[in-house]
Amino acid sequence: MIKVLVSDALGDAGIQIFEETEGIDVDVNTGLSPRELIGTIGDYDALVIRSATRVTEEVLDAGKKLKVVGRAGIGLDNVDIAAATKRGVVVMNTPTGNVVTTAEHAIAMMMALTRNIPQGTLSLKAGRWDKKKLQGREVYNKILGVIGFGKIGSIVADRAKGLRMQVVIYDPFVAPEQIEKAGFESVTLDELYRRADYISVHVPKLKETTGLLNKAAFDKMKDGVMIMNCARGGIVDEDDLHEAMKSGRVAGAALDVFEAEPPGECRLFELDRIICTPHLGASTREAQTNVAVAVARQIISYLTSGTVINAVNVPSVAGDLLKKIGPYMEVGDRMGCLQAQLADGPVKALTIEYTGDFKGMDMAPVSTAILKGLLTPMVKYAVNFVNAPLVAKEMGIKVTESTTSEAEDYTHLITLKVGTDAGENVVAGTIIGRSDIKVVKINNFRLELVPEGHILLIFNHDRPGAIGGIGTTLGRHNINIGRMHVGQEKDGDHNIIFLQTDTPVPSDVIEELRSAQMVNSVTPLEL
Ligand SMILES: NC(=O)C1=CN([C@@H]2O[C@H](COP(=O)(O)OP(=O)(O)OC[C@H]3O[C@@H](n4cnc5c(N)ncnc54)[C@H](O)[C@@H]3O)[C@@H](O)[C@H]2O)C=CC1
Ligand SMILES: O=C(O)C(=O)COP(=O)(O)O
């Protein structure tokens, strides 16, 4: 049984999908303390979270069986992604399911702020009629500055256009032409601060965006500006915002997110012109259904078929692409593994050459599979698609890739060159028919080897009787040969023999083979 722990409130539609899937056992256990989560995570293959659960390095260490963390939503600042990657745990989110909802919340916050709706509600309920005090202002023709023109920011800009606001955008990672093509003005951050009547932030929380709206930024803004933060707590510095509101520079602020959640006692709450919601940006029935269904499907597809969708720490390989490149991933993995066992000393460099008709195929997952195959026999801990590139980097292996459309003998050929201090080994492989994986070249030898199982790789002199002698030795030790491939050295007098045996060959038998006449070397391989 695959065990899934849901540790934050997940929409019913997602839970139902888990429950209805054969082979999946789902437990919903929300509100766990960090200690309790660490105590329980060891039983689970998958963890489903929203923004409350903190997936720390300790949690990942305790999650011995954990293969995937699925975030029903977008922000992943509560997950230690680097630690997950190192441990081979896939981290995935659902990047689109709640974007309209969150953008609508930002607009709702702007309207509520500008028309004092929360203050009006509170004062009425307290028996007052503060009609004069709570006069607001129009947003029509005012300038909205949007920081971050991603999925949510662009929807906010679009909705504001509908309110006949003028919208200026700052996003250093989006081409100004793209912003202009969407009908908005692209400006520098300083210009946005100088011109905007309202500023709404829609950036991820990163080192560079933490405290983005701080004292220095408030000092550059128009008097009476209003601020909305429906992105992440801490992007707007809470102490500096408090000061800017006290001084009157900032006339109002609407916060959905906080530096600490829940924020407990917060100085900002003393101010009348602060309005807030408890991280409700994504909390609509529609969005919660979208993200719950998406995360459940993504987790199930990863755990049952290996198809990775919306992962942030591994290239996604979805349905159709997997069908096309799956066999190449397989042959790449085996060739990597073969190369690791052929290597004479620590691997320094790996060159991957894709030759032939790979047009329109994203080969990144194949390269990752090759690395996984290469590293698995070399390191003690588990290497998978998630951590393979990182492990290679940490081991100082220089990886280079090239693709050419000039096919030689095969329409698709993958060649791996692995360099050590002792020299370089070259292994090439391909797919025959739909999915038959074959190694077709090892150094100077051409052959057609099915790279699987227990294999003896024997170099010998190409003389009559040499192969017979090897067979006799194995037979004497009751070792059955399943398959045999012989490759002849191009322009030489050596053979390479691959013997696939039903059982591993014991080391004393290997020694006996090594001492036989005409045998140059014997290398046992496990593929
Ligand atoms: N309040 C809530 O319940 C929700 C909050 N969010 C948060 O909303 C934010 C935006 O989410 P998405 O639009 O999906 O993200 P996204 O990744 O689609 O867009 C983010 C944009 O920010 C830009 N950006 C990055 N660094 C920047 C910088 N230093 N200055 C200006 N722009 C910068 C990027 O180029 C990108 O275009 C995230 O922080 C996310 O966690 C998302 C969903 C719900
Ligand atoms: O999707 C996001 O990034 C959100 O912030 C939504 O958070 P939540 O799932 O409502 O805790």
For the Cβ of 279 lying below 6 angstroms from any atom of ligand 2, the answer is yes
Q: Enter the pTM of the model.
A: 0.78
Q: Which of 50, 105, 232, 249 is catalytic?
A: 232
DSSP secondary-structure letter at 313? S
Token pair recorded at residue 497:
């023999």
CA distances from 94 to 100, 299, 349, 456, 480 (A): 13, 11, 36, 47, 51
Please choose, from the candidates 433, 489, 428, the residue with its C-alpha nearest in 3D space to the C-alpha of residue 461.
Answer: 489
Domain count, the chain: 4
Give the confidence band of 307 by pLDDT, cuts at 50, 70, 90: confident
* CATH number for 487: 3.30.70.260
Residue 181's pLDDT is 96
Buried b / exposed e across 337-370, counting CB within 10 Å, b at 16+? Answer: bbbbbbbeeebeebbbbbbbebeebebebbbbbb
287 three-class SS: helix
Residue 494, pLDDT above cutoff 90: no
Contact of 252 with 275, CB cutoff 8 Å? yes
Q: Which ligand is nearest to the CA of 283?
A: 2
CB half-sphere exposure, 302, CA atoms < 13 A: 28
| Ligand 1 first shell, C-beta below 6 A | 73-75, 98-99, 102, 147-153, 170-174, 202-205, 208-209, 230-232, 256-257, 279, 281-282
Residues 264 and 220 in one domain: yes
**CA 481 centroid distance within chain:** 43
ipTM greater than 0.95: yes
- Ligand 2 mean position to 280 CA, how many Å? 8
| Percentage of the chain exceeding pLDDT 90 | 77
Burial status of residue 446 (CB atoms within 10 A of its CB: 0-12, 13-18, 19 or more): middle
Residue 354, pLDDT above cutoff 90: yes
Residues 115 and 210 in one domain: yes
**Alpha-helical segments (H) within 358-453:** 364-375, 388-394
279 included as an active-site residue:
yes
Residues 289 and 435 in one domain: no
Q: What is the mean pLDDT of the chain?
A: 93
- Residues in the chain, how many? 527
30 vs 308, higher pLDDT: 30
Residue at token pair 């908005």 = 184
Residues 82 and 151 in one domain: no
Q: Which of 96, 171, 210 to mutate to test the pocket of ligand 1 (most atoms within 8 A of CB)?
A: 171
**CA 371 centroid distance within chain:** 17
Residue 316's pLDDT is 74
Which residue type does 495 have?
N
Angle between helices 117-125 and 99-114 (to 10 degrees): 60
The segment with the largest mean pLDDT, out of 245-249, 307-311, 488-492, is 245-249
* Residues paired with residue 485 on neighbouring β-strands, in sequence order: 498
Q: What is the pLDDT of residues 191-212, one digit of tens each?
A: 999 999 999 999 999 999 999 9
Give the confidence band of 418 by pLDDT, cuts at 50, 70, 90: very high
Query: Could you tell me where the beta strands, DSSP code E, fall in 376-449?
Result: 398-404, 412-420, 423-432, 436-442, 445-449
Q: How far apart are CA 140 and CA 121, in angstroms?
A: 23
Token pair recorded at residue 76:
């992943």
Residues 430 and 362 in one domain: yes
Residue 340, pLDDT above cutoff 70: yes
CA distances from 29 to 2, 57, 291, 299 (A): 16, 20, 18, 18
Give the sign of the dihedral formed by CA 328, CA 330, CA 334, CA 340: positive
Mean pLDDT of 27-55: 97
CB half-sphere exposure, 307, CA atoms < 13 A: 14
How many helices and strands in the chain, by DSSP H and E?
17, 22
- Ligand 1 mean position to 436 CA, how many Å? 44
Please choose, from the candidates 15, 12, 59, the residue with its C-alpha nearest in 3D space to the C-alpha of residue 38.
Answer: 59
Q: Phi and psi (nearest 5°) for 55?
A: -95, 90
Residue 153, pLDDT above cutoff 70: yes
Residues 54 and 118 in one domain: no
Q: Looking at 276, 299, 331, which one is the last position of a domain? A: 276
**CA 487 centroid distance within chain:** 41
* CATH number for 177: 3.40.50.720
Count CB neighbours of 424 within 10 A.
Answer: 13
CB half-sphere exposure, 56, CA atoms < 13 A: 8
Q: Which of 77, 279, 312 to mutate to test the pocket of ligand 2 (most atoms within 8 A of CB)?
A: 279
CA distances from 44 to 22, 55, 498 (A): 16, 14, 41
Q: What is the pLDDT of residues 419-432, one digit of tens each?
A: 999 999 999 999 99
Q: Which of 98, 168, 201, 202 to mutate to test the pocket of ligand 1 (most atoms within 8 A of CB)?
A: 202
Contact of 167 with 160, CB cutoff 8 Å? yes
For residue 127, what are the contacts with CB-CB under 8 A and spacing of at least 6?
A: none
Atom of ligand 2 nearest to the CA of 280: 10
Residues 204 and 352 in one domain: no
CA distances from 168 to 109, 160, 163, 200, 228 (A): 18, 11, 14, 11, 15
Burial status of residue 123 (CB atoms within 10 A of its CB: 0-12, 13-18, 19 or more): middle
Which residue type does 304 have?
T
Q: Looking at 313, 333, 364, which one is the last position of a domain? A: 313
Q: What is the pLDDT of residues 113-126, one digit of tens each?
A: 999 999 999 999 99
**Torsion on CA atoms 336, 339, 344, 348, rounded to nearest 10:** -40
Atom of ligand 1 nearest to the CA of 282: 3
Q: What is the pLDDT of residues 228-244, one digit of tens each?
A: 999 999 999 999 999 99
β-pair type (274-276, 250-255): parallel
Lowest-confidence pick of 166-170, 226-230, 382-386 = 382-386
Residue 3, pLDDT above cutoff 70: yes
- Ligand 2 mean position to 75 CA, how many Å? 6
Residues 303 and 234 in one domain: no
Residues 86 and 108 in one domain: no
* Residues paired with residue 448 on neighbouring β-strands, in sequence order: none
Domain membership of residue 456 as a residue range = 450-527
Cis status of the peptide bond prior to 504, with omega within 30 of 0: no
Token pair recorded at residue 188:
């520098």
Residue 368's pLDDT is 92
Token pair recorded at residue 227:
């601020």
180 included as an active-site residue:
no
Residue 360's pLDDT is 79
Please choose, from the candidates 6, 45, 67, 48, the residue with its C-alpha nearest in 3D space to the C-alpha of residue 295.
Answer: 48
Q: Which of 261, 452, 489, 512 is catalytic?
A: 261
Closest-CA residue, ligand 2 atom 5, reads 75
Q: How far apart are CA 197 and CA 204, in angstroms?
A: 22
Residue 412, pLDDT above cutoff 90: yes
Q: Looking at 222, 249, 276, which one is the last position of a domain? A: 276
Which residue type does 238 have?
E
Residue at token pair 């390269």 = 367
Residues 302 and 342 in one domain: no
461 vs 488, higher pLDDT: 461
Element (H, E) at 285: helix 285-305
For the Cβ of 196 lying below 6 angstroms from any atom of ligand 2, the answer is no
* CATH number for 325: 3.30.1330.90
Residues 186 and 271 in one domain: yes
Residues 114 and 205 in one domain: yes
